[in-house]
Amino acid sequence: MTLTIALSKGRIFEETLPLLSAAGIVPAEDPDASRKLIIDTNHPDVRLVIVRASDVPTYVQYGAADLGIAGRDVLIEHGGSGLYHPLDLDIARCRMMVAAPEGFDYEAAVRHGARLKVATKYPRIAREHFARKGVHVDIIKLYGSMELAPLVGLSDVIVDLVSTGGTLRANKLAAVEHILDISSRLVVNQAALKLKHDAIQPVLDAFARVVGEAP
C-alpha cells in the first residue's frame, strides 16, 4: 500500500524534513535541486509529490495524495472540503496583514467610510476580514508581487503574508492591521484515513510527538 505525501518546494519542504525524519522517512532527493515531481524515500511504500503550495489541498481532497502539508492561508482559501486537519505543525509561521504605502492614513480612511481597493492573492480571507469590520472593498485578485499594486495605483492597500517585514520595508509599505496568525497544518484525505489507517496513523503519531501534541 503506497502512501503519497504532497509537499511544496522551498520553506515547507525544508521545515517538513525534521518531521519526516522523526517518522523515519528520508527523501531520496532534494526537490529544490531536482526537476522530478515524484520523489522516492527510504521507505519503499512512501513517496512525495511536489506541487505548488496552493495546490496541496486539491491533491489531498481528490485522494491523489493521502497526506499533505499546507499553510492556513492556503487551507482557508481552498475551503477544506474532503480534508481532515489533525495537526498544526507550527512550521512556516507568518502573519496575514493589511499593508499600505508609508504615510497612507488607513485608520482615517476606514473611519471616513472610504471604499478601499484591496489587491491580494487571498480574496476569501480579505473579503471576510473587511466584511467583519464593515468596510466596503473592491477586491483585486493577484497571483504574486502584491507589494507592487499600491505603488503603481492598482490598489490602496494589500492583504499579504508578512514574516520578517523586509519585503514591505523594501517597497516603502507598512503593515497597518493584523488579520491572522498563520502556520502550516497536516491535512489528510478523509477516505484514506480509514482505508490506509495502518499506514497513516504511525506518520500522524510521529508528527504529533515532534510538535508536542503526542497522543
Enumerate binding residues for ligand PRT (CB under 6 A): 8, 10-12, 52-54, 71, 73-74, 92, 94, 144, 160-167, 182, 184
Q: How far is the CB of 143 from ligand PRT (least distance, A)?
A: 7
Kindly write down the DSSP assignment for every residue of 183-214, as one continuous string: -EEEEEEHHHHHHTHHHHHHHHHHHHHHTT--
* Cβ distance to ligand PRT smaller for residue 137 or 159: 159
Residue 140 pairs with which residues in a beta bridge? Answer: 119
Q: CA 44 to CA 63: how far, in whole Å?
A: 19
DSSP state of 42: S
Q: How far is the CB of 170 from ligand PRT (least distance, A)?
A: 8
Contact by Cβ (8 Å): 71, 92: yes
* Cβ distance to ligand PRT smaller for residue 162 or 193: 162
- 90: its cell numbers: 507550527
Coil, strand or helix: which one is 68?
strand
* Cβ distance to ligand PRT smaller for residue 150 or 196: 150
Q: How far is the CB of 159 from ligand PRT (least distance, A)?
A: 10
Q: How far is the CB of 89 from ligand PRT (least distance, A)?
A: 11
How remote is the C-alpha of 90 from its chain's centroid?
A: 12
**Nearest residue to ligand PRT, scored by beta-carbon proximity:** 71
Q: How far is the CB of 167 from ligand PRT (least distance, A)?
A: 3
* Cβ distance to ligand PRT smaller for residue 122 or 196: 122
* Cβ distance to ligand PRT smaller for residue 60 or 74: 74
The identity of residue 203, as a single letter, is: V
- 100: its cell numbers: 499600505
